[in-house]
Amino acid sequence: MKILVAVKRVVDYAVKIRVKPDKTGVDTQNVKMSMNPFCEIALEEALRIKEAGFAKEVVAVSIGPSQCVDTLRTGLAMGADRGIHVETSSSFLPLTIAKILKSIAEVENPELIFLGKQAIDDDCNQTGQMVAALLGWPQATFASKVVLDKEKHVATVDREVDGGLETLCVDLPAVITTDLRLNQPRYASLPNIMKAKSKPIKKMTVQDLKVDIKSDIEILEVTEPPKRKSGVMVSSVDELIEKLRNEAHVV
Amino acid sequence: MMMQKLRRSGELIRYGSKSLINLRPNKDSLSRSVSGFVNHYETKGKHFESNVGNYNTELHHGCLGRNLGMLQQYKCFGSSSASKIQRNPLFSSLDSKDVSYFKEILGDRNVVEDEERLETANTDWMQKYKGSSKLMLLPKNTEEVSQILQYCDSRRLAVVPQGGNTGLVGGSVPVFDEVIINVGLMNKVLAFDEVSGVLVCEAGCILENLATFLDTKGFIMPLDLGAKGSCHIGGNVSTNAGGLRLIRYGSLHGTVLGLEAVTANGNVLDMLGTLRKDNTGYDLKHLFIGSEGSLGIVTKVSILTQPKLSSVNLAFIACKDYLSCQKLLVEAKRNLGEILSAYEFLDNNSMDLVLNHLDGVRNPVSSTENFYILIETTGSDETNDREKLEAFLLKSLEKGLVSDGVIAQDINQASSFWRIREGITEALQKAGAVYKYDLSLPVEEIYNIVNDLRGRLGDLANVMGYGHLGDGNLHLNISAAEYNDKLLGLIEPYVYEWTSKHRGSISAEHGLGVMKANEIFYSKTPETVAIMASIKKLLDPKGILNPYKVLPHSLFSH
Ligand SMILES: Cc1cc2nc3c(=O)[nH]c(=O)nc-3n(C[C@H](O)[C@H](O)[C@H](O)COP(=O)(O)OP(=O)(O)OC[C@H]3O[C@@H](n4cnc5c(N)ncnc54)[C@H](O)[C@@H]3O)c2cc1C
């Protein structure tokens, strides 16, 4: 069995996000970029499945500018067997990414596709669902536990939903998106970094994959959230209640 | 939402909670005799008469208990023979006229008599040293500092300069009833030159606030330490704080370009230059760097900051023996030279302690080894720097210098590696009694003292070594279930003598404060200390500035 894992290069989550002065997007110049944390979790899960003997190969895919190779190298150093880099200088919205992943899936024929439940830059939480829909595969999103049954060819997935867990059984091939508590990703060790150097990364372009990249979404403006107003000290409980009632309108 | 949640969860990593009580006992006597050194000394045939003649030249053994005046036990932990210092009877006691005067110059608000606030200001960060001051003054500018000191000097009221109160040797809190002068309200950035990177600011600026300010300009402070959220730049200068970036940017003696300080009699010394080069006479600002508030109150600082570089990489490495750590350091300097920004080490006992006492910490490498090293690089080219670090580590792995290791792939991973190194202090507090030493030693000797002490103490205690290996700075810590005199007797003066024998320093970066004032002779000759005493006498004839600290009490007995 082969597992495909999508890994996105994003602004490191510990970096304070700055909006570009011209409001066309987020400033990424001289900013630390890392693998999206949910993608790391997705990759870790795929690796564990492989180590448990359920899969033979883990393939990491990244779509974006040339530096995505660094993200793929990280994936390979964690243990992925090979990488696919779809190089493009434009930044795509989830539907385009889903189309690209679909056409890669058609070539690679994986039985499982792992994605993070969302990327921490755009917070879209759409790509996994779209890939599943385009492929016509079952999907299990927000996974916090994944158990494979090789014989029955199904995956049992615990999902984190509001107020508790939902357990799903999906037939393979399937798409699974990962939540924070699924696992704790491993570090890239020196021996594995060394091994990663000889693992292949295949370059592709959007044209190779014959994907229509026309987007029907246009971004008009990116702005910072309004600054929080500073609080006020109230002198009594009565004043607090009065403010909650008449200013905040919450009681 | 989730992005926020995740970002937030990463933040808790860098700072541990405040440590609880650190119960380090004091060794009250020093066996080496230094009698008579203060009065005369000869240099190159010239005869100098020192002007400290009225200082008692014999070391004062507090426990011999002169029962004169007020005798106060200021430290009582961990040793039954706790040291006692006598309050200098020449100092006046605060009266209501003093308070009125201070209110006149500072305004009511900035003269603090509130018990709760005084309780905090009287107690040090480790909750180990506690004074009983009845007054804290919060001046807003140099002029006010000057007026306060002029008055205190004329009244012979002793004072203790206080910054963020994060010092680790009891220097920032009163021993008795000294008036606390805290410059925390003097927290303005005065100038920043984006060409030269020179920052001029008031002494009460909190280090982290300066770092945040500089971040918006694309610069960083040349020093960084765990206490950055509280400590003041004035406190850093006064302790000559080292920290994590020293290996890269050097000590404050190099990066501080100028100072303004007020001496005991209220004189304002304007040495606030912003020049990198200025060889005109004695460079007096250096006297105030690291003198722990004993010569004057620092009111303004001019400091050379560094451009913020975009590429930071961190590796957590395992080594099988100390010799490998040392060889790796030499190699790292040679191969990573221009990008090396930290080289920290810890032994496996320290690692175990952290794993056992801190939540959510895991050993980044899969195998247990005897030593772990953090190597950080800071440079301007992410791809190049990373390749360089990888190539260096892989070569070291092949050579057998390194037995395993990981490289952080994102900032969260880097924070969790730092958490191990920076969490040791906190873990030690949780583990029970701890005896702490901050030593400078030749790098090749550093771990010998740990081994020797382990042999000496056997099962009595857990001996740990960690620290800024790149700077030759060992934090030697002895952790035991509880304090006991037998153990202490085996540690001291052994550790000080050992350090002295190897020409090390008994205080690499924390200073002497009240904790080690009497131990200075282990690292400085009597002749040197005599000059220090003369300088103290010159700048502070009545000894009102931070008494009982830094220099041996004997020199100031009455
Ligand atoms: C968690 C933690 C980590 C630390 N890590 C390091 C480290 O890596 N490296 C290191 O070197 N130190 C370290 N320290 C100790 C370090 O000395 C202090 O954190 C810091 O430099 C002191 O600054 P402060 O403003 O808190 O000064 P305080 O603690 O208030 O005072 C320290 C001394 O300076 C004097 N002083 C303070 N302000 C002035 C002033 N304006 N004028 C004259 N004298 C003044 C005081 O009288 C006292 O003697 C650490 C401490 C903690 C709690």
pLDDT band for position A218 (50/70/90)?
confident
The mean pLDDT of chain B is 85
Asked whether B128 and B77 are in contact (CB, 8 A), the reply is: yes
Out of A24-33, A156-165, B365-374, B436-445, least confident range: A24-33
Residues of B with CB below 8 A from A12's CB? Answer: 410-412
CA–CA distance from A240 to each of A230, A245, A249 (Å)? Answer: 16, 9, 12
Q: Is B394 on the interface with A (CB under 8 A)?
A: yes
**Beta strands A154-161 and A139-149, pairing class:** antiparallel
Q: For residue B319, what are the β-bridge partners?
A: B371
Q: Which helix (H) or strand (E) holds B211?
A: helix B207-217
What domain range is A186 assigned to? 2-226
What is the DSSP code string of B4-23? Answer: HHHHHHHHTTT-PPPP----
pLDDT tens for each residue of A182-209: 999 999 999 999 999 999 999 999 999 9
Beta strands of B213-347 (E only): which ranges?
A: 219-220, 256-262, 268-271, 297-304, 306-307, 311-319, 340-347
Q: How far apart are CA B558 and CA B542, in angstroms?
A: 12
Assess if CATH 3.30.70.2190 describes domain B311-502.
Answer: yes
Q: How far apart are CA B365 and CA B318, in angstroms?
A: 7
Residues of A with CB below 8 A from B362's CB? Answer: 184
Q: For residue B83, what are the β-bridge partners?
A: none
Q: Is A240 within the bounds of a domain?
A: no
The interface predicted TM-score (ipTM) is: 0.86
**Beta strands B404-407 and B136-137, pairing class:** unpaired
Asked whether A94 and A130 are in contact (CB, 8 A), the reply is: yes
pLDDT band for position B345 (50/70/90)?
very high
- Mean pLDDT, residues A160-176 taken together: 93
Assess if CATH 3.40.50.1110 describes domain B96-182.
Answer: no
Whether residue B60 is predicted with pLDDT greater than 80 in this model: the reply is: no
Residues of A with CB below 8 A from B3's CB? Answer: 13, 118, 120-121, 123
Whether residue B57 is predicted with pLDDT greater than 70 in this model: the reply is: no
Amino acid at A47: L
Distance, C-alpha A70 to centroid of its chain: 16
Q: Is A197 within the bounds of a domain?
A: yes
What topology is assigned to B189-307 in CATH?
3.30.465
Whether residue B63 is predicted with pLDDT greater than 50 in this model: the reply is: no
Query: In terms of CA atoms, which chain A residue is nearest residue B402?
Result: A190
Q: Is B381 on the interface with A (CB under 8 A)?
A: no
Question: CB-side exposure of B290: number of CA atoms within 13 Å?
Answer: 18
Q: Is A239 within the bounds of a domain?
A: no
Asked whether A38 and A178 are in contact (CB, 8 A), the reply is: yes
- Residue closest to B509 by CA, chosen among B175, B181, B210, B253: B253
Q: What is the CA radius of gyration of chain B?
A: 24
Q: How far apart are CA B460 and CA B450, in angstroms?
A: 14
Contacts of B268 (CB under 8 A, 6+ apart): B142, B146, B260, B261, B262, B299
Q: Is A78 within the bounds of a domain?
A: yes
Question: Which residue puts its alpha carbon closest to atom 39 of ligand 1?
Answer: B235
Q: Is A111 within the bounds of a domain?
A: yes
Q: How far apart are CA B112 and CA B115, in angstroms?
A: 9
- Residue closest to B258 by CA, chosen among B240, B285, B232, B294: B285
Identify the three-state secondary structure at position A127.
helix
Q: How far apart are CA B522 and CA B500, in angstroms?
A: 5
Q: For residue B463, what are the β-bridge partners?
A: B478
Ligand 1 neighbourhood includes B472 CB (under 6 angstroms): no
pLDDT tens for each residue of A105-163: 999 999 999 999 999 988 899 999 999 999 999 999 999 999 999 889 999 999 988 88
Q: Is A90 within the bounds of a domain?
A: yes
Q: Is A235 within the bounds of a domain?
A: no
CATH number at residue A196: 3.40.50.620
Whether residue B395 is predicted with pLDDT greater than 90 in this model: the reply is: yes
pLDDT tens for each residue of B404-463: 999 999 999 999 999 999 899 889 988 988 888 999 999 999 999 999 999 999 999 999
Question: Which residue puts its alpha carbon closest to atom 23 of ligand 1?
Answer: B235
What secondary structure letter does DSSP report for B444?
A: G
- Look up residue A100 and give its two tokens: 């690209």
What is the domain count for chain A? 1
- Residue closest to B466 by CA, chosen among B396, B373, B404: B373
Q: Is A233 within the bounds of a domain?
A: no
Query: In terms of CA atoms, which chain B residue is nearest residue A117?
Result: B2
